[in-house]
């Protein structure tokens, strides 16, 4: 049907119909002028005859408002109130409403299907809405063409579960090309060993990547400050390899340092997505234990890897990762223990040197240890691998030769600076 209201006014059409009824102009001419067919003409002339004074061709859209059940309406408002409480709490890393999360929450928690526009309309109606600020451009963008070409690795500390009343550390590793999340865990403390353990998990499961991309945290990089008037530094930046960096040297994996927080934008976005969902769910489920939060994190990582279409790649990370493997578009290398080392514990470990005394013993804190095969004056490299919360294995090396293996309680290494 032709949209007459865009071409003619009501008065113009009324004038034509007036002449038609007075038999001063034929129907065919009116149809040609208005660009309508006979059926539409008959409808319009009938309306004009019924009420010539109020006749109008103005287009009136019939607005249909669909109401939703009260229980769904109440659940939407309930979730919006929780969102507002999170945003108002400055200790929680939530700054915006997440209507997509609410949509997912209604479906999974209450088995209620609600459209996103419906949730947003309720948010606007009841003052649970504000626009997000524009994102700042990133200083640097890393482009890759293969999986394993670059692994983005980072950590953050936040009050992920407010009911627990303590901040936890989130450590993740993500493949840059596929955006596949290779590793994600929550910890009470962040140490060199937690990051070494993360690398061990990734390397043994997926293989050795070409490079890792990290910030300049002291765990990853030795950064020396500028000389002052009173002190001259004997060691410059990168003159000393950290415990974590020594592991990567042994594995022949290149380390790239981000020059600014903005340069790590690619991993910050998945971090933000994970943090956002993790915090919101921990609050709603009243999580107080780290193990509970870890289960939620595992579910969110699974959703991210296997169900979410990534906004940049336009693909689900897992399928993009598998496709690259199938097409041999990978720079992952098989992990092998290189000589002279005997075990993964010789690679993924903390290292410290000690000199044997005249009694063929070495000292750690107040602990004196007798080592088999040691001569006085030998410099012994201790490769230390925590086994569990109570026990640590120490492997003693001298000139590429494994001398001894002993186990100690973890308390023996408290206060040792690695």
Higher pLDDT, 232 or 243: 243
Of 68-82, 128-142, 346-360, give the lowest mean pLDDT range: 128-142
Q: Model-level pTM? A: 0.75
Is the pLDDT confidence value at 198 over 90? Answer: yes
**What pLDDT does residue 262 have?**
55
Task: Tell me the per-residue pLDDT of 1-15, one tens digit each, with 9 for 90 and over.
Answer: 457 777 788 888 888
Among candidates 314, 320, 280, 319, which has minimal Cα distance to 300? 280
277 vs 160: CA distance, rounded Å? 10
**What pLDDT does residue 228 have?**
47
CATH class of the domain at 151-224+238-326: alpha beta
Report in angstroms the alpha-carbon separations of 405 from 367, 394, 413, 417: 16, 6, 16, 21
Across the chain, mean pLDDT equals 86
Task: Tell me the per-residue pLDDT of 130-145, one tens digit each, with 9 for 90 and over.
Answer: 776 665 554 445 478 9
Task: Tell me the per-residue pLDDT of 21-60, one tens digit each, with 9 for 90 and over.
Answer: 888 888 888 888 888 888 888 888 888 888 888 888 876 5
Average pLDDT of span 248-257? 94
Task: Tell me the per-residue pLDDT of 281-308, one tens digit each, with 9 for 90 and over.
Answer: 999 999 999 999 999 999 999 999 999 8
Is the pLDDT confidence value at 61 over 60? Answer: no
> Where exactly are the structural domains of the chain?
4-50, 70-125, 151-224+238-326, 344-413
Average pLDDT of span 354-371? 89
Among candidates 149, 235, 244, which has minimal Cα distance to 190? 244
**What pLDDT does residue 134 have?**
65
Is the pLDDT confidence value at 272 over 70? Answer: yes
Task: Tell me the per-residue pLDDT of 135-181, one tens digit each, with 9 for 90 and over.
Answer: 555 444 547 899 999 999 989 898 999 999 999 999 999 999 999 99
245 vs 276: CA distance, rounded Å? 31
**How many CB atoms are located within 10 Å of the residue 332 CB?**
20
Residues contacting 232, CB < 8 A, separation 6+ = none
**What pLDDT does residue 90 have?**
85
* Residue % of the chain over a pLDDT of 70: 87
Handedness of CA 336, 337, 343, 348 (dihedral sign): negative
């Amino acid at each position: 049907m032709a949209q007459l209201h865009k071409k003619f006014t009501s008065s113009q059409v009324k004038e034509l119909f007036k002449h038609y009824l007075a038999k001063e102009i034929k129907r065919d001419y009116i149809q040609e002028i208005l660009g309508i067919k006979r059926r539409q003409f008959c409808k319009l002339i009938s309306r004009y005859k019924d009420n010539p004074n109020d006749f109008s061709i103005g287009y009136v859209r019939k607005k249909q408002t669909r109401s939703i059940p009260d229980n769904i309406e109440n659940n939407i408002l309930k979730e919006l109130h929780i969102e507002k409480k999170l945003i108002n709490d400055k200790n929680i890393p939530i700054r915006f409403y997440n209507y997509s999360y609410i949509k997912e929450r209604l479906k999974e928690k209450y088995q209620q299907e609600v459209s996103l526009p419906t949730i947003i309309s309720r948010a606007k109606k009841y003052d649970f809405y504000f626009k997000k600020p524009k994102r700042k451009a990133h200083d640097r963008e890393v482009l890759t063409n293969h999986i394993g070409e670059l692994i983005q690795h980072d950590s953050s500390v936040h009050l992920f579960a407010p009911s627990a009343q303590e901040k936890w550390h989130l450590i993740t590793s993500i493949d840059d090309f596929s955006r596949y999340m290779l590793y994600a865990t929550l910890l009470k403390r962040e140490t060199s060993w937690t990051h070494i353990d993360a690398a061990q998990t990734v390397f043994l499961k997926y293989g050795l990547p070409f490079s890792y991309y990290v910030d300049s945290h002291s765990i990853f990089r030795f950064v020396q400050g500028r000389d002052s008037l009173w002190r001259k530094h004997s060691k410059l930046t990168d003159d000393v390899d950290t415990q974590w960096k020594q592991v990567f040297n042994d594995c022949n994996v290149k380390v790239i340092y981000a020059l600014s927080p903005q340069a790590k934008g690619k991993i910050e976005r998945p971090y933000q997505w994970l943090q956002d969902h993790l915090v919101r769910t921990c609050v709603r489920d009243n999580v107080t234990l780290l193990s509970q939060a870890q289960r939620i994190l595992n579910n969110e990582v699974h959703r991210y890897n296997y169900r979410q279409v990534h906004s940049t790649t336009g693909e689900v990370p897992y399928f993009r990762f598998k496709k690259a493997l199938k097409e041999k578009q990978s720079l992952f290398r098989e992990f092998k223990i290189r000589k002279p080392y005997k075990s993964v514990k010789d690679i993924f470990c903390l290292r410290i040197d000690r000199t044997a005394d005249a009694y063929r013993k070495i000292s750690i804190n107040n602990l004196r240890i007798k080592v088999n095969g040691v001569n006085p004056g030998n410099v012994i490299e201790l490769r230390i691998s925590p086994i569990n919360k109570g026990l640590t294995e120490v492997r003693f090396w001298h000139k590429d030769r494994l001398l001894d293996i002993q186990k100690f309680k973890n308390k023996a290494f408290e206060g040792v600076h690695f």
